[in-house]
Structures are given as C-alpha cells and as structure tokens.
Amino acid sequence: MLKTKKRLTLLVAMCLLRIVTIAQTSDRNKLAPTPPMGWMSWSFFAEKISEQGVKEMADAMVSSGMAQAGYKYIFIDDCWQGGRDNRNNIIPDPKKFPSGIKALADYVHSKGLKLGIYSDAAPLTCAGFTASLNFEEKDAKTFASWGIDYLKYDYCGAPEDSATAKLRYKKMADALSHSGRDIALGICEWGDRQPWNWAANAGGSQWRMAGDLRDKWQSKPGEPGMSIMQVVKTNGDLAAYAGPGHWNDPDMLMIGLYGVKGPSADLGGTGCTDVEYQSQMSLWSIMASPLIASNDLRNMSPQIKTILTNAEVIAIDQDVLGKQGIRKVSDEVWDIFVKPLANGDVAIAVLNKDNNARDTKINFVDLGINGKCLIRDLWAHANVGTASSWKGNVQAHETKMFRLTAK
C-alpha cells in the first residue's frame, strides 16, 4: 500500500516537472515569434569592442533607418568580459566598458532597441575570455539585472558529445527563465550536433546550423571557411525545423563588409559584389533567417542601405506564418525557394548560381502554385504582370525575389 502511494506521489511529481518543463520551453519559444533582426559586433569590432563603439552603432542603427526597417537588437559578441569580481559576479572589461553594461543597456533601450550579450558553455569563450560554465544561474541573474534581452551562447572548449551540449544549453536556458527577465537564447555550436533536432527543446530561439560564415560567395576548391553558397546548400534542407520561436541561423549578414579586416576576412573572406550581397539578403529572407547585419552602420553606402532595408524583402523574412522557404528546385544552375505567407500569398526566390547571366522561364505550377498570379518583383518594387509563369534574365549570382498573389 505504502509502496503504491510512494509510486503515485513520484508519478505526480514527475508529471508536474514535465508540465513545468514544457511550459518553460513554450514560454521561451515566445521570445522570437519572427526571426530576430539586429547588428552584431563580431565581424566589425571583434576584440576591439567598446562601449563607445556599441553606442555609435546604436545611434547609427536609428539614424540610418535600420531600426525603422525592423533591426532591433544590438548584439555584443565575444571580448567584452573582464573576469569575475570577488563575489564571482561576471564583470565587463573596465577599460572597454567604463560605465558598465547596465548603463549601456539603458542607453540602447532609450533608443527603442534591445541589447544582446555573449557567453560560452565552458570556462572560457572562443576568444579566451571568462565564460559561464557552472555559473549559469549567477550569470543569467547578472545579465537580467543589466537589462540584457538576448544571450548568444557559444560552445568553444566544451565536450564534443551531443548529450553534454543539450544539458549545458538547457541549463543556461533554465537559468535565463529563472532570471526574472525575458532573455532569448541563441545556440551557437555551429551545427555540429544537429541542433535543429534538439535546440528548440533545450530553450533556444535560434541555432547556428553551420560554422562561421566568411565574407565570400564561394570557396575555392579545398579552401576552408564557410561561404554564402555552402551555408545556403545546407540550410536549404532544414526548412522543416524552423517555425515561430525557433529558427535556423545561417550566421550574420556579410552585406557591406567588402572584405574588411577581421574575423569574416580570413579563410578566403575577401568580400562579395553588391549583387552577391543582395542575394544574401534575398536568400536569408526566403529562409526565414535571423537578419543580423555586421557591417559598419556608421559608414554605409546608399547601395548597402538599400539592400539591408528593403521593406518588401524584410516582410518576407518577418512573415508571421513563420515558414522557412522550401527549396523546390536545386540543379547545377538554379535554386528556387518557395515560402508560403500568412495572407495566402507565396514568395519565391530564384538564384542563378552560374557565373554567367541566364534566361529562364518558371512555370508556377511546377512549384506547386496553380493558376494565374499577380507577380511583384520585390527588388524592382514593381508589379511585373499577371500570369502563371515568369520569364526573364537573372544575373550571375543574383537572386530575384517575387511575391505572388493568386488572381
């Protein structure tokens, strides 16, 4: 009898724990209903990050029109840390952040923006600074007290197996859930342990699905370092895993870096053309990816600003249905993605991977779209016809983007 009672109590306790866990996970899923948009410090500042630099980028985010276009986060990446104080509280480098992170968060919030920060699930970060292993609760509370809205959690120096990764990410997600503030979690283990299968359950709003992207369209044979084309190839297969609150993250936008010195420039990252940057914007948007600029927002050419702030393209990325575009065609020359939208429209992206301009004709029925559609070219900002197909020329490495409305 007693045994049965004990068992019953244990069962009820387990059920309650499960309910709490599910509730926490689904709550965490609400933190990024559409893919997060912002600017991240790594490519441009790396170890030269500073309070002044971050403030200037926040100013530029607003004055350039990027904030208006939807870019809301300023993400502080690695190299901000100054160790721990005598109570083991993590602290910023006092030379780089003389006013502290709370003051910076207040500043960023006063501009209507949000602030992200960075740590790692090991004793040290990728760049060798103090990280959060075994200090998860403490650091989550510190981040909350500063007013942090997002944590990018890296995986350098941590064991290779998946079980440990899941535990370490879940531990931090739970700590963030208990911190008293809504702080989204970005999982960054470079796709090595197929995070699309477990990262959302571990409490992540997004997960990097590949290694660090370099500022290059394509890698030369045998050259290491991820290119835009490599990331697209892999991420194109992962559409089923993304949805509101949990996104595949193919890494930062290289748009406007033009091979600038820094982390994006090594391993062949010598820069892209404006056509290729425009393609990255189209492809990231059709794949419902986080849109995280990494260029110098203070000095943007009109072309780059136009690419980053194209409202019609951003609307595809941010569509509330939250579907990652499905790659319906992938051959030697073409990739064609199809993304259903909340109002019943469909977005399509047509990528010419060839090194020469190409003519093409796309019959919508081959993409599963029946009947005639009003065709809107989202880069030309023009309606280009009502038809059941589209015929035209696509430049080398260009990605055309259309919104189709059934007629």
Distance between CA 125 and CA 153 in Å, rounded? 9
- Of 32, 70, 78, 323, the one binding ligand GLA (CB under 6 A) is 78
DSSP, residue by residue, 98-131: TTHHHHHHHHHHHTT-EEEEEEESSSB-TTS-B-
Tally of CB atoms within 10 A around 224? 10
Site membership for ligand GLA, residue 153 (CB under 6 A)? no
- CB within 8 Å of 175: residues ≥ 6 apart: 136, 137, 139, 140, 141
- Applying CB under 6 A, what is the total number of residues that bind ligand GLA? 9
Q: Is 212 in the site for ligand GLA (CB under 6 A)?
A: yes
Q: Could you say which of 77, 78, 120, 154 is catalytic? A: 154
Q: Are strands 373-377 and 382-387 parallel, antiparallel or unpaired?
A: antiparallel
* Residue 91 binds ligand GLA (CB under 6 A): no
Distance CA 407, CA 404 (A): 9
Nearer to ligand GLA, 120 or 335 (CB): 120
Coil, strand or helix: which one is 68? helix
Q: Considering only CA atoms, which of 394, 29, 60, 37 is closest in space to residue 249?
A: 37
Answer for which of 149, 154, 296, 319 binds ligand GLA (CB under 6 A) is 154
Specify the residue, 119 or 352, whose C-beta has the smaller distance to ligand GLA.
119
- 154 tagged catalytic: yes
Min dist. Cβ of residue 129 to ligand GLA (A): 8
Site track 117-136 with ligand GLA (rule: CB under 6 A), x = hit: --------xxx---------
In this chain, which of 32, 35, 38, 42 binds ligand GLA, going by CB under 6 A? 42
Nearest-Å Rg of the Cα atoms of the chain is 22
237 is catalytic: no
- Which residue among 212, 215, 251, 345 is the active-site one? 212
Active site residues: 154, 212
Residues that bind ligand GLA (CB under 6 A): 42, 77-78, 125-127, 154, 188, 212
